[in-house]
Amino acid sequence: MKKKNPLISIVLPAHNEEAHIEVCLNSLLNQSYKPIEIFIVDDGSKDKTAEIVRKFAPKVTLLQQPQSGPGIAWNTGFKHTKGEILMFWASDHIYGKDYIKDLATPIIKGEALRTVQSREDIANADKIWARGWGEREPRDINETENTTAALTSRQVFLKAGGFDPKRGYADDQSIYDKTKIKTKIVHTTISHFNPESLKESFAQAAWIGASFKRPYLTLLSLPLFPFYVVGKSVRHFIKDPYIPFIVFLPIFYTVKYFGHYFGILRKIVLKKNTRI
């Protein structure tokens, strides 16, 4: 890349993120890397997300659309960008001060066309439901991640022709599906606000379930779901032996399983893969 500090365009979808959007934006505005431009695409929020984002103008640009999912939101935001490097991620995160610098450096040096963080911490680990979802699994720095990228060069996005919104929660995997360009994994700091209640966890699981490539396997597995719950709970407790998990994890994985199940049925019957 010719420029040492190219403009980086940040596009984040936001659906009912009033609890997290302010701290997310403050973490982006506090980045050590400059120059950046920030676009928040309000994806049909029914809360005060848009109102909060407007307070950050002109440093942050608010775009709005009916609820359509992250893929369409990212594509909508892209139309307004000017950066040579694009950041497509989410608005329920706290980004470490050097997050963008760390992920942009390999792209600027010509070592990669796409990058992603090696792990995500839990921003709200004091909540048992959030802790149940766990950290995003660490990735080996020497390996490549085939499906997702937080930062990507503009040329890759143009080659892909944008995101495919058919998969909903997994829309971010569509750039790889179209281009087969792998992602370089980078160590940096980022934390995610996991769902922190039964209601939020069921909704998240439903959204994930709607993205499954082979949903009928989950539907047919219903008689085996107790074994799924027990197996998942035991493995989880071995990894994180938090005493309240003894009672909580079977409840958590039951909610998660039937959330997936509901999401699959919702997509099949109603053709919907957006958040509920």
Whether 241 maps to a domain, the answer reads yes
- Given this model, what pLDDT does residue 102 score? 98
Domain-ending residue, one of 141, 167, 192: 192
Q: Residue 138's pLDDT is what?
A: 59
Q: Which domain holds residue 101?
A: 8-192
> Does a structural domain hold residue 2?
no
Of 143, 168, 192, which residue constitutes the final position of a domain? 192
Give pLDDT, residue 162: 97
Considering 192, 225, 247, which residue would you say is the last residue of a domain?
192
Same domain, 165 and 34: yes
Closest of 224, 215, 195, 180 to residue 128, by C-alpha: 195
| pLDDT tens per residue across span 155-212 | 999 999 999 999 899 999 999 999 999 999 999 999 999 999 999 999 999 999 999 9
Pair 162, 250 in one domain: no
Same domain for 203 and 253, yes or no, is yes
Q: What pLDDT score was predicted for residue 11? A: 98
53-63 pLDDT per residue, tens: 999 999 999 99
Is 79 found in the same domain as 203?
A: no
Q: Can you give the pLDDT at residue 48? A: 98
Statement to judge: residues 183 and 245 lie in one domain: no
Residues 176 and 206 in one domain: no
Number of domains in the chain: 2
Same domain, 156 and 211: no
C-beta separation of 92 from 24 below 8 A:
yes
Residue 1 has pLDDT above 70, yes or no: yes
Q: Per-residue pLDDT averaged across 2-23, rounded?
A: 95
82 located within any domain: yes
Residues 30 and 92 in one domain: yes
Q: Do the domain assignments include residue 95?
A: yes
Indicate the length of the chain as a whole number: 276
Question: pLDDT-derived band of residue 3, with 50, 70 and 90 as boundaries?
Answer: confident
Task: Quote the CA–CA distance of 271 and 182 in Å, as a whole number.
Answer: 30
- For residue 180, being part of any structural domain is answered with yes
Is 275 among the domain residues? no
Alpha-helical (H) ranges within 97-223 are 99-108, 128-133, 154-160, 174-179, 198-209, 215-220
pLDDT single digits (tens) 15-39: 999 999 999 999 999 999 999 999 9
Q: In this model, does residue 10 exceed pLDDT 90?
A: yes
CA-based radius of gyration for the chain: 19
What percentage of the chain reaches a pLDDT higher than 70?
A: 97
pLDDT of 275: 93
Average pLDDT over residues 104-109: 97
Query: What confidence tens digit (pLDDT) does each residue in 128-149 have?
Result: 999 999 987 756 666 777 789 9
State the pLDDT at residue 97: 98
- Give the CATH number of the domain where residue 136 resides: 3.90.550.10
69 in any annotated domain: yes
Is residue 46 domain-shared with residue 108, that is, in the same domain?
yes
Q: Looking at the structure, do residues 118 and 211 belong to the same domain, yes or no? A: no
> 216 with 182, same domain?
no
Which CB contacts under 8 angstroms, 24+ apart, belong to 221-229? 222/261, 225/254, 225/257, 228/253, 228/257, 229/253, 229/254, 229/257
What pTM, to 2 d.p., does this model score?
Answer: 0.94
Q: What distance in Å separates the CA atoms of residue 186 and residue 184, rounded to the nearest whole number?
A: 6
> Do 184 and 211 fall into the same domain?
no
Taking all residues of the chain, what is their mean pLDDT, rounded to a whole number? Answer: 95
